[in-house]
Amino acid sequence: MKRNALCLGLASILASAPVFATLPAPAPDTDVDTRFDTVVVTAAAQTSPLTFEIDPKTPRQPVPASDGADYLKTIPGFSAIRNGGTNGDPVLRGMFGSRLKLLTNDSEMLGACPMRMDNPMSYVSPETYDKLIVIKGPQTVIWGPGSSAGTVRFERDTERFEQAGWRGYAGLLAGSWGRNDQVVDASGGAPEGYVRMTANRSAQDDYEDGDGHRVPSRWMKWNADVEAGWTPDTDTRLVATIGAGDGEARYAGRGMDGSQFKRQSGVLRFEKVRMGRVLDAIEASVFSNYADHVMDNYSLRDPDPNGAMPMPMASNVDRRTTGGRFATTWRWGDSFSLITGLDQQSNTHRARNAPGRDVYKTKPWIADARFSSAGA
């Protein structure tokens, strides 16, 4: 249905100009304006006034998103602070950064860069997820603190195998300016459990401006995740996910390029739903996410001898975010329910930098920020 609406939407846009020019007058004694017999869908439809739920595998225009922010900017209310060809920073209702909760598989992957080259969405490949859920506004605290603007959740929601078998999804994209993407998502299993593997690679070259000058904007990124799930019945599952990724990006507007965007992540989730008593559901998860980012002025460009940084320089920053949450859903009849629980998160940020090619690797890490939060 969603897919049909999108295709219809695209066809309608092409046809809209002549149609609108020859509209007949509305019928005089009716409240319903029947002149518009086609629906123009240019963006994701809302499931409720404040919530969007979208399948990020659904084809979209102009091309599949290179990362999470690239996807979010097509949702009404979102915009993105551009940051070269990819790694845009999502903005919802004018708010961004720590005011926008960005979650993947119920875990938080906070970037390490003090210049915000790697916001949490930089590490997300939308097509390898099954659901994108956006809650606009600060109405919920179910997913932890820091959601003044809203909450964005990219979720892998692997359907239980009712009988032994496998499922797969793959995509290829080739575009102008060397844009090329590859994505594969394959799973195999039986009623008791499954294994799923997702991987993607996305890349684009520099573009040229109107005078034929090459503008630094090239990027490449890849992700690979393996998920194993135990599904003893339709309402119970225990899922373990481990993943890794890396990338690089050239920037026209910065003194350094992003030469490394390494990710390592691990999430363990348990869920028991539709228990049919007053206590209706239990969810628990723990995660550990690690970002290891390098920016330098020598691996993707040559240091500018007349610039502010004439010698090779590199800065390496990393951040480990660990945490978890536990939630229970209590239900009294169909009209009243209560979700209650606990969440916790700890962060350690470290840095090391040095002039000279790769000299930073010989320097010790210095922890420059540690913080944690807990909530009930």
Long-range contacts of residues 296-303, Cβ cutoff 8 Å, at least 24 apart = 296/256, 296/257, 296/259, 297/255, 297/256, 297/257, 298/357, 299/248, 299/257, 299/259, 300/216, 300/218, 300/248, 300/250, 300/257, 300/259, 301/216, 301/250, 301/257
- Only one of the segments 107-115, 149-157, 352-360, 368-376 lies at the binding site for Cu ion (rule: CB under 5 A); that segment is 107-115
- Only one of the segments 45-53, 295-303, 338-346, 364-372 lies at the binding site for Cu ion (rule: CB under 5 A); that segment is 295-303
Q: Give the nearest distance from C-beta 116 to Cu ion in angstroms.
A: 8
Of 260 and 348, which has the nearer Cβ to Cu ion? 260
Of 229 and 258, which has the nearer Cβ to Cu ion? 258
Are the C-beta atoms of residues 235 and 96 closer than 8 Å to each other? no
Strands 100-104 and 150-155, sheet pairing: parallel
- Only one of the segments 44-52, 80-88, 113-121, 123-131 lies at the binding site for Cu ion (rule: CB under 5 A); that segment is 113-121
- Only one of the segments 223-231, 274-282, 287-295, 353-361 lies at the binding site for Cu ion (rule: CB under 5 A); that segment is 287-295
DSSP state letter for 25 = P
# residues contacting Cu ion (CB under 5 A):
4
**How many other CB atoms are found less than 10 A from the CB of residue 108?**
20
Report the alpha-carbon distance of residue 121 to residue 185 in Å, rounded. Answer: 19
Of 115 and 309, which has the nearer Cβ to Cu ion? 115
- Only one of the segments 58-66, 111-119, 188-196, 324-332 lies at the binding site for Cu ion (rule: CB under 5 A); that segment is 111-119
Of 80 and 249, which has the nearer Cβ to Cu ion? 249
Would you give the binding string for Cu ion spanning residues 234-273, x where CB under 5 A is met? Answer: ----------------------------------------
Of 6 and 314, which has the nearer Cβ to Cu ion? 314
Q: DSSP secondary structure string, 234-293?
A: TTEEEEEEEEEEEEEE--SSSSSEEEEEEEEEEEEEEEE----SSEEEEEEEEEEEEEEE
- Only one of the segments 25-33, 55-63, 108-116, 131-139 lies at the binding site for Cu ion (rule: CB under 5 A); that segment is 108-116
Q: Which three-class secondary structure state does DSSP give residue 305? A: coil
Helix (H) or strand (E) holding 20: helix 2-21
Of 119 and 158, which has the nearer Cβ to Cu ion? 119
- Only one of the segments 240-248, 291-299, 300-308, 328-336 lies at the binding site for Cu ion (rule: CB under 5 A); that segment is 291-299
Q: Which of 102, 109, 295, 351 binds Cu ion (CB under 5 A)?
A: 295
Q: Which residue is nearest to Cu ion (CB)?
A: 113
Of 69 and 117, which has the nearer Cβ to Cu ion? 117
Using rule CB under 5 A, residue 313 touches Cu ion: no
Q: Which of 113, 124, 224, 327 binds Cu ion (CB under 5 A)?
A: 113
Q: Give the nearest distance from C-beta 100 to Cu ion in angstroms.
A: 19
Tokens read off for 136: 């606009």
Report the alpha-carbon distance of residue 195 to residue 173 in Å, rounded. Answer: 26
Half-sphere exposure of 47 (CA within 13 A, CB side): 12
* Residue numbers 115-134 binding Cu ion by CB under 5 A: 115, 117
Q: Give the nearest distance from C-beta 78 to Cu ion in angstroms.
A: 23
Would you give the binding string for Cu ion spanning residues 169-198, x where CB under 5 A is met? Answer: ------------------------------
* Strand blocks (E) in the chain: 51-54, 78-81, 89-92, 100-104, 107-108, 131-136, 150-155, 165-174, 180-190, 193-204, 207-208, 214-215, 219-233, 236-249, 257-272, 279-296, 313-332, 336-355, 366-375
Q: Give the nearest distance from C-beta 172 to Cu ion in angstroms.
A: 30
Which residues of the shown chain bind Cu ion in the complex (CB under 5 A)? 113, 115, 117, 295
